[in-house]
Amino acid sequence: SAVISQKPSRDICQRGTSLTIQCQVDSQVTMMFWYRQQPGQSLTLIATANQGSEATYESGFVIDKFPISRPNLTFSTLTVSNMSPEDSSIYLCSVPGVAGGSYNEQFFGPGTRLTVL
């Protein structure tokens, strides 16, 4: 499986500010995914980041609030913009593995724990 790192591991931010989260993978991958995990909740997909094209956002998530960059096949960033306390969550990036040649599995980074005051 791929080795995935995220920066920062945690941060405490003031409302109204923005935070950019980085995700680095040790191998080239076509797709990267960004998830949000609110306190005590399950994981919800925010968007799919494809290299060379705009990210695809899930219902309820918009580019203005969560802009994503994907400059190459090993790196992506997610920005949480104009933060409010409701944005306090763990943000996780993930990449597909290759099983049977069809990217069936998915592997996660360690997450970024964000607290907004």
Contact between 96 and another protein per CB under 8 A? yes
Give me the 9-48 binding string for another protein, x by CB under 8 A, dash otherwise.
----------------------x-x--------xxxx--x
Count of helix runs (H) and strand runs (E) in the chain: 0, 11
Least separation in angstroms between residue 58's CB and another protein is 8
Q: DSSP labels for 86-104?
A: GG-EEEEEEEE--STTS--
Task: Specify the residue for token string 């920066």.
Answer: 7
- Please identify, using beta-carbon distances, which residue of 18 and 104 lies nearer to another protein: 104
